[in-house]
Amino acid sequence: MDSFRRDGLTFDVRDAGPTDGEPVVLLHGFPQDSTAWDRVAPALHQHGLRTLAPDQRGYSPMARPRGRQHYRLRETTADVLALLDAAGLESAHVVGHDWGGIVAWALGAWHPDRVRTLTAISVPHPGAMARAMVTSDQALRSYYMGLFQLPLVPERLLLAGNGAALRRMLEHGGLPEDAVDRYVRKMQEPGALSSALGWYRALPWSGRDPVGKVTVPTLHLWSTGDAFLGRKATEDTERFVDAFYRLEVLDGVTHWIPELAAERTAELVTAHVRA
């Protein structure tokens, strides 16, 4: 399958690997798209796993509804359920990075019957994140989340000068030049950046639906070079998982783990799925 539909929206999806393999859903973050998994997915295929990597709401050109309420967490998780239904899957292993990780946490808490295993990359459980915002330096690290909720200002700042500020942000994080070019180009499409920022602007709505304890086997990957997400929330995440839990720390890697530590990520995900 190369696409699926929900509520009049069409989502692009990259379905690859053995068709009879264990299904693994790969969820990207901001400001990425499904190509974030370009180096991870082939390694998973070599281990007999099937991958389904959608361009999520706001990133697929035909799935960019207007209005921040359309990007609340209940909607973004429902999109993944629609993907599973379209693929004829009762459940799948779910791997998410950045905002995709938040969706993965919510799926593991709200729909454990649809999630075989959960792998959250970079982002802690939302409950642990909320605690860290008042007990550590996490609020300072997350200053941009408030900025991104402002109307129009982030678009003007990030896209000025042919996307110079967005480019600097991604380059500073150590992303390869080809990935930086790809993501900046995608965010310059009409309405793309505003739609991607809708995830941040919907936080007041998403906060009304707390993500409770997760009851599926969980792997959590975090990197010491992550400038956005600190250690406190990472260490507190285990208390929000009522099942097998493993934390794997990658030394010296920045936030962009799928692109910068693809081989190790694939190795850990494969072991988690097989276990």
Element (H, E) at 49: strand 49-54
For every residue of 144-199, DSSP letters joined together read HHHHTTSSSHHHHHHHHHHHHHHHHHHHHTT--HHHHHHHHHHHTSTTHHHHHHHH
Order of strands, edge to edge, in the sheet holding 218-223?
Answer: 3-6, 9-16, 49-54, 22-27, 92-97, 115-121, 218-223, 245-250
pLDDT tens-place string over residues 187-214: 999 999 999 999 999 998 877 889 999 9
Domain span at residue 210?
Answer: 3-274
pTM over 0.95: yes
Average pLDDT over residues 169-177: 89
Average pLDDT over residues 114-137: 95
**15 labelled catalytic:** no
Residues written for the chain: 275
Is it the case that residue 272 has pLDDT exceeding 90? yes
Average pLDDT over residues 84-113: 98
- Nearest-angstrom CA–CA distance, 114 and 252: 34
Categorize the per-residue pLDDT at 128 as very low, low, confident or very high, splitting at 50, 70 and 90.
very high
pLDDT at 253: 96
> Are the C-beta atoms of residues 120 and 218 closer than 8 Å to each other?
yes
Q: Percent helix, strand and coil across the chain, each rounded to 5?
A: 50, 20, 35
| Backbone dihedral angles phi then psi of residue 182, each to the nearest 5 degrees | -65, -45
Active-site annotation holder among 33, 98, 226, 236: 98
* Pick from 38, 74, 68: nearest CA to 183: 38
- Nearest-angstrom CA–CA distance, 109 and 77: 11
Domain count, the chain: 1
Residue 257: both structure tokens together:
């783990």
| Backbone dihedral angles phi then psi of residue 63, each to the nearest 5 degrees | -135, 55
**255 labelled catalytic:** yes
pLDDT at 206: 77
- Residue-averaged pLDDT of the chain: 95
Cα atoms in the 13 Å half-sphere on the side-chain side of 117: 20
pLDDT tens-place string over residues 223-251: 999 999 999 999 999 999 999 999 999 99
* Pick from 71, 18, 70, 65: nearest CA to 45: 18
Average the pLDDT over each of 42-46, 143-147, 208-212 and give the range with the smallest value.
Answer: 143-147
- Nearest-angstrom CA–CA distance, 146 and 149: 5
**98 labelled catalytic:** yes
Categorize the per-residue pLDDT at 146 as very low, low, confident or very high, splitting at 50, 70 and 90.
confident
Scan for tokens 């969706």, then name that residue: 103
* Pick from 239, 224, 240, 195: nearest CA to 99: 195
Active-site annotation holder among 59, 71, 183, 200: 200
Average pLDDT over residues 23-37: 98
Going by their DSSP bridges, the two strands 92-97 and 22-27 should be labelled as: parallel
CATH number of the domain at 179, please.
3.40.50.1820
